[in-house]
Amino acid sequence: MKQKEYTISILTEDKPGLLNKITIIFNRRKINIASLNVSTTEVAGVSRYTLVVSLTPEEVKKIVKQIRKVVDVLGSFYYQENEVYYREIALYKFSVDMYKNNKELEQLIRNHGAKVMAIEGDQVVIEKTGSKQETHELYDALQPFDLMEFVRSGRIALSKSKRRTEAFIRELETSNSNALSIKEF
């Protein structure tokens, strides 16, 4: 079966060492994580891990089930691209001399929906928020302007489901299992 890109969302207690436990699951299976982000949620003491992987449907189901077994994991869910709202942020650095009085560069930045984040000393940093494709398109367009550095964040994502994390956690607390389906919320 053909691999597809999936966003895996994992809700955990905010405890040290969990990142290692989760990434070991992928490492053992020799699965490459294309993107990884960990952040707080609207529920105090709960963190959200967002990972992007390319797997077959069977593989993603197995790995999500394995993640749910990790102590301190409250829930683990997978989504296809059309089931989440997502963004990444990219930063691009130039010399201030390249940026100064360069109308073509200014127009290119504007046309891509990017903005100047900082001008300090002899460098300029441009910020672009969007999909991986959008941030990479700007990267390609900026190459002729002596791009000094480029970095892109991991994906952040929210499911399109109507569930609320707080309601999921409350339900989880009253059940005896962390196998609740996110689709139920």
- 82-93: string of b/e by CB count within 10 Å (b at 16+)? eebebebebbbb
pLDDT of residue 184: 42
- What pTM, to 2 d.p., does this model score? 0.84
> Which domains, and CATH codes, for the chain?
4-84+156-184 (3.30.70.260), 87-152 (3.30.70.1150)
pLDDT of residue 171: 81
Hey, is 91 helix, strand or coil? Answer: strand
pLDDT band per the 50, 70, 90 thresholds, residue 101:
confident
* Phi, psi for 51 (deg, rounded to 5): -120, 150
**Which residue is it, tokens 């002899």?**
122
Q: What gap in Å lies between CA 70 and CA 55, rounded to an integer? A: 20
Beta strands in 56-175 (DSSP E): 73-80, 84-95, 115-120, 123-130, 149-152, 156-159
Amino acid, single-letter form, for residue 177: S
Kindly report the average pLDDT of the chain as a whole number: 91
Exposed / middle / buried, residue 173 (Cβ in 10 Å: 0-12, 13-18, 19+): exposed
Residue 50, both tokens: 């967002």
pLDDT band per the 50, 70, 90 thresholds, residue 180:
very low
CA torsion angle for 58, 59, 65, 68 (degrees, to 10)? -150
